[in-house]
Structure 1
Amino acid sequence: MHKVILVTGGARSGKSYFAEQLCKNIGEKVSYLATSEAFDDEMKARVAKHKEQRPSSWKTYEAFENLKDLVPDMSSSSDTVILDCLTVMANNLIFHSDVDVENATQAEIDSLEKRIQEELVSFILALKYNKLNLVMVTNELGMGIVPENKLSRIYRDIIGRINQVAARYSDEVYFVVSGISQKIKG
């Protein structure tokens, strides 16, 4: 049976490590979908650290949009895909859009969020159609104070709703805190 699994938690909670262990337990043939852009030295160091901790046999893809277009290639060499992470994917889709979030209308924000949801759902459905397992990593941003600025509030709200969509499509959901996972669905 092919599964969709969501792993969520706070920053540096151990989500990626836990998700990678899940993938190792599922099978040997794994595609790693990295959604970040290494745009400065700090991000380059984070990317390098992530690369070091995963098996070199895993095939890496770097993309944050048009993800369903990668599925045919992934299905030819993998039985499991790890997407790390949804929050960075959404961040890149927001900042690569033509929407000036600070000055956008609610209709523009809604349209942007719809595009992000469509990107995610089309990818999940393409993987399911091709009978691939999917392990998604995301950040839980809604457990803190309400952000002071509009951009951060909109981002937090979009991520909260994107995570809800991901959880609805998931067979299992795990919450990770301090490196400890708790299964909360499935």
Structure 2
Amino acid sequence: MKNIVLVTGGARSGKSSYAEKLAKEEKAGVLYIATSIPFDDEMKDRVKKHKERRPSNWHTFEGYKNLKHVFYNEEIHFDTILLDCITIMVTNLMFDISGDNFDDLNAEAIDSMEKEILQEVADFLCEAEKSTKTVIIVTNEIGAGIVPEYKMARVFRDIAGRVNQYIASRAQSVHLVVCGIPIKIK
């Protein structure tokens, strides 16, 4: 497997399970980056199921910003990083940057927010490219549906779509997962 691998697909398509399978094939230490903030019972249950499915010898880092620093953790040994998931990371960064008042954001503020999010992703990818570690990144393919009714959802869709394109352009391989079946597209 090459350095940066992007795994994308729709909700509940099996992309996280597939990414975990790829990480298990690496046979070395794995650092799992969990980007979610479990704020309700539904999300807490999803996080619980993800944790139960991961091997007990994997290390977990919970966070969604300044991720470039995980490459230099000297306390644990790992040769593979699995980041799950970019779209949740984008959501968290959007709220960090702008709060929840998206209806009042003008085009300049949205562009500034997108640049800040892309920089966060670029910083992580720069470290990934310098590293000898395999980096597996999970994301959601969200652009195949209808145009969202609310401004916040449209802004999210647009930023997440451009972030996905950016990661895919720098990844050595990209896999689309549909109905639990991975298809290598790059």
Q: Which amino acid aligns with 1:89?
A: M
Secondary structure in 1 matching 2:38: coil
Any gaps of 5 or more consecutive residues in structure 1? Answer: none
Distance in 2 separating the partners of 1:68 and 1:119:
8
Relative to the length of structure 2, the TM-score reads: 0.95
**Number of aligned residues:** 185
- What is the root-mean-square deviation in Å for CA atoms of aligned residues? 1.5
- Where does residue 60 of structure 1 map in the other structure? 60
- For 1:91, the equivalent position in structure 2 comes to 91
Local SS of the residue matching 1:140: coil
Residues 96-115 of structure 1 mapped to structure 2, 5 A cutoff: 96-98=96-98, 100-115=101-116
User: Does the aligned pair in 2 maintain the 1:75–1:132 contact within 8 Å?
Assistant: no
Is 2:23–2:80's contact at 8 Å kept on the other side of the alignment?
A: yes
Q: Letter of the 1:152 partner, please give it.
A: A
Q: Which amino acid aligns with 1:113?
A: E
Aligned to 1:131: 132
The alpha carbon displacement at 1:183 in A equals 0.2
Deviation at 1:75, TM superposition (A): 9.0
Q: Which residue of 2 aligns with 1:46?
A: 46
Question: Quick check: 1:32 aligned with 2:41?
Answer: no
* Offset at residue 74 of structure 1 (A): 6.7
- Whether the 8 Å CA contact 2:8–2:141 is kept in 1: the answer is yes
CA shift for structure 1 position 130: 2.6
The answer on whether the counterparts of 1:75 and 1:130 sit within 8 Å (CA) in structure 2 is no
Which SS does the other structure have where 2:135 is aligned? strand
SS in 2 for 1:157: helix
Segment of structure 1 superposing worse, 99-108 or 136-145: 99-108
Letter in 2 for 1:165: Y
